[in-house]
Amino acid sequence: MKRLSVAVMGLDGCGAEFLEAIRADDQFDLVAVADSNADLLRDVSERLHADGFADYRSLIVEGAASGLDALFVAVEPFESVDLMPLAAERRVAVFHKAPFARDYGEAERLTARFHTVGCPMVIARNWQFEPVFQCLRRIGDWAGRIFSVIAVVRTDADGSVGWRGDSTRAGGGVLLNEAYQALDLTVALLGTPQRVYARGSMAIGPSDPKPYDTEDAALVVLDFPSARSAGVFAGRRSGMEDWQVTIFAAEATVVVGPRSLRIHRADGSPMEECRVASANPWSCAISEFGGACRAGLREFASSAREHLTTMAVIDAAYLSARTGSPESPDRILDVGILTGTAS
């Protein structure tokens, strides 16, 4: 089976982790890279002997013409959203960092575009593929009924927040851009909440030249059927970078972090020592994506369509923060092209 010709868009942050995972996996041939930072682009393209593109559109158009099979996208949605339809039209499979859109409508339109042409778009989600977290798929079998989930997300911000402070580019603040993985896991465990209630706040640091219009801190309460509930707190400027989801079930309490999982019995005593995930958080997801592409599968795990519920929950949270009242994600999902009744 032939190796996949792939490219990476965005070489900093998780883009560097994507590159590392791709180079370590013999399913892939890295043929091109792209970044707006000229120095970084030159260094990476020369070191890895890959074609370098400063223009993201050119990467897709020229890459597709040269037989590009898959594109790994590590730039923010405001940089990628207008270019992803080009990848769909040219049948280039996409593996995109999360979040992949700035709001539900944008996510739904992109998902529909890829669905219509039968081209896969997969969203990075390490907990679904990393072996350490596989027990979460059958958590009800060994931990009993989940009755509550608490998620805490802390992230640092060094003075200026850059694009994150501009709602037009960012789509939202800490809730969308830093708390996405924790919220996504919560929704995967409990399903679609009936109601979402949220509050957000903005803090202006001493080095910020002017107030920005996205939230630094957010508190979200999610109300699920059968008297189950979840709470999510996310805050910037905390001096550290991490997230933690604590799952309270009838027989056990499970504490999940970005790279670890710990299980306690209901009485608090350890049931299992901490499990530590792979050094690269995306290696398992990327390997699975590559295998599915090579096998020509029609259904991909962690497809963009799977993430629409999470995006609807986030939209409902932002709507609640504006109205001051609980809001329903189902009202957002019901008007969707793929998930609801709209034509």
For the chain, list the strands marked E by DSSP. Answer: 4-9, 28-34, 51-53, 70-73, 93-96, 121-123, 146-154, 195-201, 217-224, 228-235, 242-249, 252-256, 260-265, 270-276
341 — pLDDT class (breaks 50, 70, 90): very low
Question: The pTM is what?
Answer: 0.93
pLDDT 10s digits, 182-226: 999 999 999 999 999 999 987 655 555 556 789 989 999 999 999
What is the CATH number assigned to the segment(s) 131-277? Answer: 3.30.360.10
Q: CA-CA-CA-CA torsion for 171, 172, 173, 178, nearest 10 degrees?
A: -80
Q: Give the Cα separation of 172 and 6 in Å (integer).
A: 30
Q: How many CB atoms lie within 10 A of CB 13?
A: 12
Calpha distance 238→154 (Å, rounded): 6
- Chain segment 226-235, per-residue pLDDT in tens: 999 999 999 9
CATH topology of domain 4-126+281-304: Rossmann fold (3.40.50)
Per-residue b or e along 238-269, where b marks 16 or more CB atoms closer than 10 Å to that residue's CB? beeeebebbbbbeebbbebbbbebbbeeeeee
Task: Name the CA dihedral angle for 186, 190, 193, 197, rounded to a multiple of 10 degrees.
Answer: -40
Domain range summary for the chain, segments of one domain joined by +: 4-126+281-304, 131-277
- 157-166, 168-177, 278-287: range with lowest mean pLDDT: 157-166
Structure tokens at 140: 């009800």
